[in-house]
Amino acid sequence: MAGKLRKQVRRALADETLQAALSRFTMLTRFGRQMGMTGIDFEALRQDLHERKKKAIDDLPALVRQFKENAAASGAVIFEAENAGKANDYIAGLARELGVKHIIKSKSMLTEEIGLRHHLEQRGIRVDETDIGERIVQLAGEKPAHLVGPAIHKTAEQIASLFSELLGEQVSSDSQPLLDTVRRSLRQSYLDAGMGISGANIAIADTGTIVILTNEGNGQLVTTLSPLQVAVVGIEKIVRGFEDANAVLRLLSRSCVGTKMTIYTSFITGTGRAGEVCGMPLPGGQGPRELHIVLVDNGRSRMRDSDDFREALYCIKCGVCLNVCPVFASLSGQTYGHVYQGGIGTILTAFYHDRERSRELAEMCLGCMSCKSVCPAGIDIPGLIRRMRAKHVEEKGLAAGKKLAYRMILKHPARLEGAVRTCARLEGPFLDADSMIKSLPYPLRSITDTISLPGLQTILLGDRMTAYKSPVAGKAPKVAFYSGCITSFAYPGLGEDVMRLLERYDVAPYYPQDQACCGAPAYFAGDSGTALALARHNIEALSGQEPDYVVTVCPGCAVMLKKEFLSLTAGEPALHERALHLSGKVRDLSQLLSELGPGRGIKAAAVGRVTYHDPCHLRRGLGISAEPRKLIESAGYELVEMNDADACCGFGGDTLLAHPELCGSVLQRKLANIEATGVDTVVTGCMPCVLQLRGGLHKKGSPIRVVHIAELLAGRF
Amino acid sequence: MVDNSEILERFKTEATLTGAQVFLACSVEEATEYVLKLVSDKDIKVVVKSGSPIADRLGLTARLAAAGVKVTETSITQWAAQMARGQDVPVDKLAELISAAAGEQVPAEPEAILQVARRILKEVYAGAGLGITEADFGIAETGTLVTLENEGNARLAAILPKLHLTLLDGSRIAGSLADAAELIKGSSGGIQSHKLPTFITYLTGRNTTADIPGAIFARAQGPDEEHILIFRA
């Protein structure tokens, strides 16, 4: 099964038309969001929306009752469907009862989720999608590529040929005439159809109102022109009042398109009526005579009941998480297989469609946290994915290879060291003149197809740190250096640079010898047991000599020590207390150096130009982006910003093993941005990023140098 | 009238940013001139309109008719009145008039009249060069026009014709989305029943699609242009 997804990934990566479309799409949406965020306090607005959605989901059973009562009082007919089949049968039954042969439909992810169109078409009913993008994928017989832009992967030529076939005439692929043709063909559908089906972006319990947003205007037509309207509404869309709806409206369009508001926002309450003619009232007016609201559960209550995944119900389906996702940018939506895409789609897929597929999709997440940083509902999508992985491990156990790697080796620091030393002795034949490994045999070959790997060392960092076993007595502050595995095993020289550097800042650095892996690989793969064992070990190792600070060169480790140890130890109050104490001392190197003030004897004379890559865990995990830039400039370097400096380098830990081609594609975008700056050095602040960027550039034979900021600064004293 | 020039200015700025063409008229003559110029510039022969106190005050239907433009009222009550040339006619007489217009026999029952009216009006909307509607109020922070109705004709007149003109009373501008919600709650009690109006439409800018590559901000399924005439006299 996993092999199937990998094949689908490869196919998407090899599709040049798709890749070109995705690159246009990414550029456009990035620009859109920038525009949308101008002039607002995003953090305050999303906090507000998060709280309102949280409250609504907490109160959901009461809100559903209230919505039903008020909608019924305003003239709507309510049907509650606990699953897809019941919703589909109800709507098909309505069509049959009223002799409806032709339906117009506006875009609704929920109707895709339940397969409504297919269900109706199988019963001989013609269903015309009216969102232009959705119409295109309908004609192509495909699923939507994106929550908001279903046809982002289609070229004008492909679209023209779909409509040529539909209309039996030659349709031009020039954008304007093509659009005119599409509009004309849709117009006729609206006038002819006997039923209109829409979704709803929001439902308001206080008034029984449904809110429908479209930029094209098709939502207006679908909900007005047909004598019969059906709105298919997920129960998680219900909020209490108008102010809650406003909180959604304030961020939805700003997030996904970049405009302040969606162009048409319709609040529909019940059915309409016209004034009187000859003293007789005219029910329905020019809108539908009947409004049926189908409230769909289909797994939502189950999600609500699971504390771990309830947050996914806050999603307002704006799609901005897809717009910033490096994996989505390489694949587009069809690769995900069901209806919902990206990180949030991975969670929704588990509840609405297919647990096994969800497990596979979860393996693609690079953990870059881009989605989390832009989500208007404040959903911790990477956290949901990690919990999903943990749940799979809990239920099905770890895969054999991971079990060996995490539980038998990683968990035991001495075994891990032994394994590294053994590999270091065996790797000789694979090393090139730069001490890099360009090619390994199966099963590791696919990794070295993407990046060259650094040779492992036989003299590890611990061996070189014997002079730094404890801080110089009487000197303060005491700074414990936590190196992380990559520094320790592959780049021990960097550890030595860090110690020299810290001495220039007049602190008492030392290297706690008993430190172990932070547990991140196991933690993010869902192996919480191994992660907890390592948290316990490290809390002990790092607390021993009562440091004032614990400094890291790897923000991934820092996030573990500072944040994740807290959640891992939540069940053990005494240990948790110690984790909390440790958490307050953890500093990223650039952060600590900035706090300490300028180092003694640093050369500030101009030396050259460099660019800087923001590590995901540093920028989004710890919120640090200004400090390293200032340090670089204060050391005499001119900083040339690259495009998308904060985009992921594609390292992604386990993902590199499961989907090396995918990681490679994310890496290539990063390398292109680095190369475009024209500088010969890229600085970053994270060892996995260093490994990935060095490996990628070496593989390409590029002369561009990658340095950790510790190395850069150590060279300026 | 309270001085709301600041909020009005903000509305104009934001509405212009959304892609609408905004004009502020400070007198009946200025407002009427603007509409007459619009239909003449765009060579518009057929106009549909929904009920509008501002249009009534401008005497717009008569002025347009005098300029050779055919104006169809879209509220069924007014459409029927237009059919009856403003006379108070019994239902059989009305059915007769409509039968003549529709070219088919329409039974003298309100339900039948409604169905025929709906069918005829659909074609009229779609064939019109301009739809004229009046917004209940504007929202300054987003440049949004808010229209409340129960019948559904205003939203059709706003979307199906080739161009759309919204008339807006310059004294009726809410500052924010939150203010708008308060206004709606305040006014809904007064609209025919205790529930909210059936259709509340927020219109912000001109309809667009990005689904056809190479036509990013192209007109989608609504009018080609959005015009806003703010009347402040």
Optimal mutation site among A105, A239, A259, A278, interface B, most CBs of chain B within 10 A: A278
Q: Which of B135, B95, B90 is nearest to B229 (CA)?
A: B135
Residue with tokens 């518009």: B44
The predicted pLDDT at position A175 comes to 87
| Beta-strand pair A681-684/A608-613 | parallel
Contact B204 A284 (CB under 8 A): no
Helix A156-167 to helix A132-140 angle (10° resolution) is 70
Mean pLDDT value of segment A420-447: 89
Q: Which residue of B has its CA nearest to A267?
A: B200
Contact A351, A302 (CB under 8 A): yes
**What separation in angstroms does the CA of A291 have from each of A92, A130, A230, A412, B194?**
15, 19, 6, 64, 19
Compute the distance between CA of residue A604 and CA of residue A593 in angstroms, rounded to an integer.
16
Of B75, B178, B220, the CB nearest to A215: B220
What type of residue sits at position A113?
A: E
Q: Is B122 exposed, middle or buried (0-12, 13-18, 19+ CB in 10 A)?
A: middle
Helix (H, G, I), strand (E, B) or coil at A309: coil
pLDDT tens digits, A181-232: 999 999 989 988 999 999 999 999 999 999 999 999 999 999 999 999 999 9
The predicted pLDDT at position A442 comes to 80
Residue A2 pLDDT more than 80?
no
Q: Which residue of B has its CA nearest to A272?
A: B150
Tokens of residue A112, six digits: 């895709």
State pTM to two decimals.
Answer: 0.94
Residue A400 pLDDT more than 60?
yes
pLDDT tens digits, A299-354: 999 999 999 999 999 999 999 999 999 999 999 888 888 889 999 999 999 999 99
Contact B216 A28 (CB under 8 A): yes
Contact A671, A693 (CB under 8 A): yes
pLDDT grade, residue A655 (50/70/90)?
A: confident
Share above pLDDT 70 across residues of chain A, in percent, rounded to a whole number: 100
Return the CA Rg of chain A.
28
Contact A183 B220 (CB under 8 A): yes
Q: How far apart are the CA of B29 and the nearest CA of chain A, in angstroms?
A: 31
Contact A243 B178 (CB under 8 A): yes
> How is residue A641 annotated by DSSP?
P
Share above pLDDT 90 across residues of chain A, in percent, rounded to a whole number: 85
pLDDT grade, residue B2 (50/70/90)?
A: low
Q: Containing H/E element for A454?
A: strand A453-454
Q: Is A548 exposed, middle or buried (0-12, 13-18, 19+ CB in 10 A)?
A: middle
ipTM field: 0.96
Kindly provide the residue ranges of all beta strands, DSSP E only, lying in A177-255, ordered along the sequence: 195-198, 202-204, 209-214, 228-234, 238-239
What type of residue sits at position A548?
A: D
pLDDT tens digits, A559-589: 999 999 999 999 999 999 999 999 999 999 9
Residue A443 pLDDT more than 80?
no
Least confident of A126-130, A374-378, A422-426: A422-426
Compute the distance between CA of residue A350 and CA of residue A344 in angstroms, rounded to an integer.
10
Compute the distance between CA of residue A201 and CA of residue A262 in angstroms, rounded to an integer.
11
| Beta-strand pair B70-73/B46-49 | parallel
Give B-chain residues touching A176 at CB under 8 angstroms: 215, 218
Compute the distance between CA of residue A652 and CA of residue A624 in angstroms, rounded to an integer.
19
Of B114, B178, B196, the CB nearest to A207: B196
Q: Which residue of B has its CA nearest to A213?
A: B202
Helix (H, G, I), strand (E, B) or coil at A210: strand
Q: Which residue of A has its CA nearest to B177?
A: A246
CA B101 to chain centre: 24
The predicted pLDDT at position A535 comes to 98
Contact A287 B152 (CB under 8 A): yes
Compute the distance between CA of residue B214 and CA of residue A269 in angstroms, rounded to an integer.
37
Mean pLDDT value of segment B98-116: 89
pLDDT grade, residue A92 (50/70/90)?
A: very high
Contact A242 B184 (CB under 8 A): yes
Q: Which of B114, B148, B200, B154 is nearest to A283 (CA)?
A: B114
Give A-chain residues touching B18 at CB under 8 angstroms: 259-260, 263
Give B-chain residues touching A132 at CB under 8 angstroms: 209, 211-212, 220-221
Q: Which residues contact residue A263 at a Cβ distance below 8 angstroms, ignoring those fewer than 6 apart?
A: A214, A215, A216, A217, B18, B203, B204, B205, B206, B207, B208
Cβ count within 10 A of residue A600 = 10
Q: How far apart are the CA of B144 and the nearest CA of chain A, in angstroms?
A: 8
CA A711 to chain centre: 31
Contact B122 A155 (CB under 8 A): no
Half-sphere exposure of A213 (CA within 13 A, CB side): 24
Half-sphere exposure of A72 (CA within 13 A, CB side): 11
Contact A695, A453 (CB under 8 A): yes
Compute the distance between CA of residue A205 and CA of residue A697 in angstroms, rounded to an integer.
56
Average pLDDT over chain A reads 94
Contact A483, A496 (CB under 8 A): no
Contact A242 B211 (CB under 8 A): no
Q: Containing H/E element for A538?
A: helix A528-543
> How is residue A236 annotated by DSSP?
G
Contact A647, A671 (CB under 8 A): no
Residue B191 pLDDT more than 50?
no
Give B-chain residues touching A155 at CB under 8 angstroms: 213
Residue A399 pLDDT more than 90?
no
pLDDT tens digits, A15-41: 999 999 999 899 889 999 999 999 999
Compute the distance between CA of residue A627 and CA of residue A640 in angstroms, rounded to an integer.
16
Compute the distance between CA of residue B71 and CA of residue B132 in angstroms, rounded to an integer.
10
Contact B207 A217 (CB under 8 A): yes
Compute the distance between CA of residue A256 and CA of residue A322 in angstroms, rounded to an integer.
9
With b meaning 16 or more CB within 10 Å and e meaning fewer, what string describes A627-665? Answer: bbbebbebbebebeebebbbbbbbbbbbbbbbbbbbbbb
> How is residue B140 annotated by DSSP?
T
Give B-chain residues touching A175 at CB under 8 angstroms: 212-215, 218
Mean pLDDT value of segment B64-80: 95
End-to-end CA distance of chain A, in Å?
A: 54
Of A156, A209, A274, the CB nearest to B77: A274
Query: Which region, left, alpha or beta, applies to residue A708 given φ > 0 means left and ψ of -120 to 50 means alpha?
Result: beta
Give B-chain residues touching A159 at CB under 8 angstroms: 212-213
pLDDT grade, residue B84 (50/70/90)?
A: confident
Residue B192 pLDDT more than 50?
no
Compute the distance between CA of residue A134 and CA of residue A197 in angstroms, rounded to an integer.
14
Give B-chain residues touching A205 at CB under 8 angstroms: none
Mean pLDDT value of segment A639-653: 95
Q: Which of A272, A341, A257 is nearest to A12 (CA)?
A: A341
Residue A454 pLDDT more than 90?
yes
pLDDT tens digits, A228-271: 999 999 999 999 999 999 999 999 999 999 999 999 999 999 99
Residue B193 pLDDT more than 70?
no
Cβ count within 10 A of residue B21 = 15
Average pLDDT over chain B reads 92
Query: Which region, left, alpha or beta, applies to residue A319 given φ > 0 means left and ψ of -120 to 50 means alpha?
Result: left
